[in-house]
Structures are given as structure tokens and as C-alpha cells.
Structure 1
Amino acid sequence: MAATDFKDYYQILGVNKSATQEDIKKAFRKLARKYHPDVNQGNKQAEARFKEVNEAYEVLSDPEKRQKYDQFGQYWKQVGQGFPNGAGGAGVDMNGFDFGQYSSFDDFINELLGRFAGGNRAGGQSYSYRTSTGGASGFGGFNDFGGFQDMGRNSAQDSEATITLSFAEAFNGVQKRFNLGNETIDVRIPAGAKPGSRLRVRGKGPVSPSSQRRGDLYLVVELGTHPFFKFDGDNLVCEVQITPDEAVLGATIEVPTPDGMVDVKIPAGVRSGQSLRLRGKGWRNRNGARTDQLVKIAIATPKNISEQEREYYEKIRDIRTFNPRSNLQQFRL
């Protein structure tokens, strides 16, 4: 375990280790007001400090969590000083609690506060505190911090975690299972989730130590990469290669969509880089309608051709009347 992982919550709140619960509460309220995002809009350092203060207070305001944290502090010091007989800290038991099971301080805090942990816990890649007095349900934006209120009386703490879905899961909808400390919940992700979509799970966030209210859990959707589809705003985009003769003469080709292959008519004389719009073949939105799919055309030049193909290309070259560089003569410095 890296000694630098440890956070001194007493120092963060500006109190000593013998501080009473009232001392801790007063220090928390003062710092929470100072660093609250409503009075520090756009200040990332203040936002990070605000989260640290919340985390410190949640631990130190709970006697049981505070006791375990103090024990961990002793364990961390031993790690920094080196254990006798080469023990290295593994399996160290302090008053019935094995701190050697944690690979980092964050692992310890995640379990202590019932947060998402990484590894094999589904969807738990990240976690952050947000203080909220409201917000929208379902997908879409939400008011992160609401109106500024007395932190000691009314606020509830929300949690936020990222969930990575495949394109198929996001398009069709999927049910995912999450471990929230000692609680397991099943969450249905509606069809049509996009990168950055937020799903609100009411009453599944952490309990605020100041108000004893349980906040909400917000799941922020990320999508894995897809070898063919990408997003362009609300629409899907893809790139399809065609041959030179198809570009000149036009053709009908098959193109993948989320629903399967469809026939697409390529107009004669299409340009490389030109996009064709497939209306209603893109992503699902919240009202059940479909956006569009944009098919970007790329003219693929063959590298290996037969002798007969070369012969015909040479004939076309000899009789060709079109010169795409005819306008270059007008340009001068």
C-alpha cells in the first residue's frame, strides 16, 4: 500500500484528533459554506475541496466509522515505517479488523462508506459526491447543487458513478446489477442511452451525516467503442467504401444499421467524403422515435488489379474528358 494514499480527515476539517462531534460539525459547516459550488461556480479546485470536506465529515461524524478510520491511520503509519520481520502489512489485524485486505486507502474508504469499488463490482468505475436539492428523473441533465442551503439541516448527498455499456445494450436497453456496499440493486437502463446520459436512482445514494437523509444515485452512461458506428450529436454516423466505378456510375449497396442491413442507393457522380442520410435509421430517443444515420462515402482505390482491369483503366484515362484540377491555373501567390 502506498503511504501517499492516506488522507488526514482531521487536517482537512482543521480539527485535532480529540475534537468533539460538535467541533467537527462546526468545522464542516464553515468549510462547506466556503467551498460550496454555488458560491464557487466554475472553480474546480473549490469543487474538489468541497468533496474532500464532505468525505471527511461523513467519516468523522459517525463514531463507528471514525473509530475504524483512526485504526486505519495507525495501520498506515506502520506501513510507512515498515513492518517487523518483513510482514509488509499483509493480514495485519488491529482490534479485530483486518486492514491488510485493502490495497489502498481508497479501497478502505469505499467499503467504509458503502461506495462503488472497482474490479468485479459492475458499473463501479468512479464515484463522486454531489450535494443536491433537486434534479430531473430519468435521462437528461440535472441540477447538480440546487439552491444554496444550510448544510447542517437540509442537504442530502448524492452519489455519481459511471457505467460502461456496449452499443447494443444502450440501443436496446439492459438491466444491470450493482453492489452498493451491503445492498444489491437491479437497475433497468432504458433503450436509447447515449454517452453522457444520466439515470437517476432515487434513494440509493449515501446517507448524509448532517441530515440523515439518503441521497440519490446518478448513473452516467459511457459507451465502449464500436468498429463501425459513431455518434454525431444525436445521429449515428458510419463510413462506407465504394469502388471508383460505383462512384462514377452509381450503385445500390448494402449498409449496416442498428436494425440490420438496408439497401442504399449511391447516386452517380458521388464525391468522396459526401454523406448520405438514412432517415429514421439512427439512434433511439426518449419518445421512441429514431434519429438519422449518416453514411459517409469513401472512394476506395484498388491496389492490386488484373491485367484486364489495368487495360480498361488505361483506356478510360486515354479518353477521359474530365479534369478535376482545371481550376488550379488561376491560383498565384
Structure 2
Amino acid sequence: MGNKHERQLTIKELRTVQAQELRKQTKRHIHDRLQIVRKESSELSAIWDVDPDSALRFHSGVVLGDVDCESTPGFESRKSDAKEFVSLSSDEIGNYQSLLYANGVKGSRRRILIVLQGMDTSGKGSMVEHVFSQTNPMGIHYHGFGAPTQKELNHDYLWRIRRELPKYGWISIFDRSHYEDIVMPRIFGTYPRQIWEARYDEINDFEHRLTQDGCVIIKIFLCISKDFQKKRFLRRLDDPRKYWKFDPSDVKAREHWDDYMDAWQEVMERTSTDYAPWHVIPANHRWYSRAVLSQILRARLQDMNLSWPPADFNVDLVRQHLKVM
């Protein structure tokens, strides 16, 4: 009896050791996989002659009206190379996004807000389609801001912005944003100057609180030329499938092109901060602007240095319980 009982204990102990070793191997596999992803990200970044995150940040001396919208700073390869880069980068963004989402489910406050601004036809919508092609819809929130509705006008201008902010572990993309509430009143005089003027500091405080609470903010201005916009408009008018994209008011906005540039120039000068800097991206070549956002986003996700959340329950106990159910 004693020997039999002793042998049963030995087998049980062996199974426990095997289970422990399997968990160790699984943890090593996850760790190794994360290391591979991070290594691949570093290798992908090497395709850039200069880091676009730093090279394209707005700084004193940058004048929007002087930006060469045809240029591709830091990327001297071909269009086909840029497309391949975005495809590979998007795959890694998908991996990192899964980590971000999982950590958010477990209580992490980390999240990302991407603000996309630019004149009509600058490619904001198509950029989202390409850069986020490999991500899980669960964890991605896209919202386009148009003219405020009457309901939104009944609240302060940041009310509708707060409603669309990313939840913990999520990435939110704003196609236009709270900055429209400075630019539009300034150009069209819908509010007195003292109202929209005060919004510079209010927005800086708003974004500062967000970043202190774990939200990474990426602000992108897609810079296109006036001639480029005209060509895109004419192309839309030549294609009945794209009439829905066009509004006659878009043409009227072209009459205020210089006013828009002046307004956005001041926005950058007064709201590009260390915690939420603006990036000015030449966007006549959409393949380039997509590659830039993909690189910046992937680098920010990588810098979070996330790992899979550990179990907050007794794995062995739950496993044994399931076996006998």
C-alpha cells in the first residue's frame, strides 16, 4: 500500500513539474516573440534616412506656406517600397495594438489619440484605411468631425470631443478635431476673437491632462499644395462614383486658402507642445504620408514596452477544475 501511494505521489509531482515547465516555456516563447517583434520594428525603422518623428515635428521657423508638399523627407526609396513598408509596419502595429487592448482590459490607462488635420483632399480618410489595415476593429475608434450639430452647440466645444476620446487600451483617430473650433471661427467670424483666442490655452490644458492620464497624442497636419487639391477635385468630378465626396462649399474654401494657412500656422505655433507636438507632413504623395504616420505610430507603440498581462487567478486550479467538469 505504502509503495503504491508513494508512486502515485511521484507521478503527481512529475505532472506538476511538467506543468510548471510548460508554463515557463510558454512565457519564454511569448518573451521571445515580443523580442522578435521589437527587433523587426527596429529593422523596419532603418529604411528611413532620418527619423520622421523628429524631422517632421513643427518647430520655430517652419512656415506652412513654404513647405515643399512634393518632398519626401527621410525616405528616398520608391513608391512601391513605401507601400511594402506600410504593409509590414501595419502588421506590427496590429501586434502592438493587441497588447495595448489587452492591457486596457486589465486596467492600464494607456491609450492613443491620433488627430488628423489637413485641407480637403489631403488624404486623411485613405490614410486610416491603409495604416490600420491589419488592426483589430475591437480597440480602434474612428470619428470624423463635421460642423457642430445644434445639440453639440448647446454644450461647450470640447463636449463632443470628450465623447469620442479613446477608452483605456484603445486607439482613437480624429478626422478633424477640436482645432476646427479655433480655425473656422477665426476665418469666418462666427465667434468674437476673445472666444476662439482663449481656446489655445484651453486646448493645451485639455491635452496636457490627457497625457498625464496615460494618453499618447499624435497630431498630424497633412500639407498639400493648392494645385494638387485642384487636380484631386477635378478627378472627383470626372468620376460619378466620387460625386458624394464633393461639396460645392469645398470650392469656396479654396478662396480662403491663405487664411487657412495663416490660421493653421498660429495653431501650430501655440499648441505644438513637448507632450503633444504637431507633425507637418508633405502629402502630395499619399504613399509617403501614410508611411510617415505608420512609422510614428509604430514607434510610439513600441516605446510603451508592453507585455501580455499576467493571469490574476490561479491557472492550475482553474485548469484542474475544468478537467473534472
TM-score w.r.t. the length of structure 2 is 0.22
Higher helix residue share: 2
User: Which structure: greater strand fraction?
Assistant: 1
Give the number of the structure whose alpha-carbon radius of gyration is greater: 1
In the superposition, the TM-score normalised over structure 1's length comes to 0.22
